[in-house]
Structure 1
């Protein structure tokens, strides 16, 4: 009596592999950054649907067809704050001094000869540049006090602001990437500098969409960080800035 299978195609028995493949694939999730833990691994059904392939180890489909990262993978943004960045003193000069206090609000005046380089404290992106001194003693006191200035958003998520500059460097514009120690401008006495050569230095959080001069000018006392950077240390203000913003948010103009 002829076998009932003659003349008919026999499909390999893969149900067990189909059941095991998702389990094996899930075991690789922790080694694949960007793949959601709730199952973005590739389904093996597309590989095995035709029934034409010979039996193979269950791991083959998952290793030969890696999953594409899902839109909600939680992959870190390129602009996410980074820790451990190099920080440098903001004025490159031999004869330099600064106060540990400042009038009316937290900031520091760094005194040096006019023309000495004002540099980027850390790697980051230029946020704002003022190349025109609009300050007037008879005008509003606050918005234009800085004269020529540059503000930098460091890759550590902190904004660093320097003002009263005599000049802003060529090519230093909003959106430009800079490196720690790169010159941004020169020490000067523009704005409300009382005719004394110095850089007004402020540390603050960037308050996107709600920002203003009253935040940009500084919200933390910088001296402890300046002390560290001047001695070649790398004390980081990011944690203190984060704590301040959680407490105060982005306050309106005083």
Structure 2
């Protein structure tokens, strides 16, 4: 049999236990109101700090739909007057066939009209008044095939510059020789100048001496212009081809 005093002490303690239970339960499940620490479960390791996502690097691959850059334009050939002298003159026409005689003092520089390749060089004066007119009229001469497809011919030279040989590349303004009066020049210092297409496979002196009038182009180059004869020379060849030598020849060149 229990003692009455024990029963009274038990009944007195019961309300106190009921008041403590909620507080104990709350203390086990939440942090103190003043704590800033975040509770961590005993089975979970602390996570690593999360770094903010960085923007992706720009792509270095060009878009496939991009329009390709245009190709550079072909280089426009420079043209210069064929005689480098302060005292120079020329006829707008010529006897018997298209060409021009450019008058200057003997020894004045004769230069390449444009960039191109030397075709023919004559370093020996084979002209004879008793021989046939035509093939050797030019005396010392140089012909140049410009990069524009035009053949530029100069004759009656007194000298050919060193290193000027067939197949050599030259630039506009480069010296080819000197003004003279070799060949059928009537002892007058001048440069015979002719424009023509190149006809391959045979000597074509009758075409080389000139097929179109040079004066309009000389007028341009003398004023530092750049008018080119390629279109006119091409049109002439399209119409005439490479005609055979004339039966009767005359005139210098």
Q: TM-score, structure 2 length as denominator?
A: 0.68
Asked if 1:194 is matched to 2:191, the reply is no
User: 1:194 and 1:133 mapped to 2: Cα distance?
Assistant: 14
Tell me by how many angstroms 1:31 deviates. Answer: 7.9
Which 4+ residue blocks in structure 1 deviate beyond 6 angstroms? 30-33
Tell me by how many angstroms 1:211 deviates. Answer: 4.4
> Out of 136, 160, 166, which is 2:158 matched to?
166
The answer as to whether partners of 1:135 and 1:144 remain within 8 angstroms in 2 is yes
Please, which runs of 5 or more residues in structure 1 have no aligned partner? 1-24, 34-81
Asked if 1:96 is matched to 2:96, the reply is no
What does the per-residue CA deviation read over 1:52-104, in whole Å, with 9 as the maximum and x for residues that have no partner? Answer: xxxxxxxxxxxxxxxxxxxxxxxxxxxxxx77210000000000000000000
The answer as to whether partners of 1:166 and 1:186 remain within 8 angstroms in 2 is yes
**Which deviates the most, 119-128 or 210-219?**
210-219
User: 2:106 and 2:120 mapped to 1: Cα distance?
Assistant: 22
Asked if 1:220 is matched to 2:190, the reply is no
2:12 corresponding residue in structure 1: none
> Out of 178, 191, 199, which is 2:170 matched to?
178
Please, which runs of 5 or more residues in structure 2 have no aligned partner? 1-63, 247-253
2:128 corresponding residue in structure 1: 136
What does the per-residue CA deviation read over 1:160-185, in whole Å, with 9 as the maximum and x for residues that have no partner? Answer: 00000000000000000000000000
The answer as to whether partners of 1:211 and 1:250 remain within 8 angstroms in 2 is no
Asked if 1:252 is matched to 2:244, the reply is yes
Q: Superposition pairs for residues 65-76 of structure 1, below 5 Å?
A: none
Residue aligned with 2:162, SS: coil
User: 1:31 and 1:168 mapped to 2: Cα distance?
Assistant: 46
The answer as to whether partners of 1:83 and 1:156 remain within 8 angstroms in 2 is no
Asked if 1:240 is matched to 2:240, the reply is no
User: 1:243 and 1:84 mapped to 2: Cα distance?
Assistant: 20
Tell me by how many angstroms 1:210 deviates. Answer: 4.2
Q: TM-score, structure 1 length as denominator?
A: 0.68
1:157 corresponding residue in structure 2: 149
User: 1:131 and 1:84 mapped to 2: Cα distance?
Assistant: 32
From the CA coordinates, give the structure whose radius of gyration is larger: 2
Residue aligned with 1:219, SS: coil
User: 1:156 and 1:140 mapped to 2: Cα distance?
Assistant: 33
Q: Superposition pairs for residues 45-64 of structure 1, below 5 Å?
A: none
1:136–1:83 distance in 2 versus 1, CA, 3 Å: farther
Q: How many residues align?
A: 182
**Which deviates the most, 89-98 or 210-219?**
210-219
User: 2:75 and 2:168 mapped to 1: Cα distance?
Assistant: 21
User: 2:213 and 2:155 mapped to 1: Cα distance?
Assistant: 16
User: 1:162 and 1:106 mapped to 2: Cα distance?
Assistant: 14
Tell me by how many angstroms 1:208 deviates. Answer: 1.5
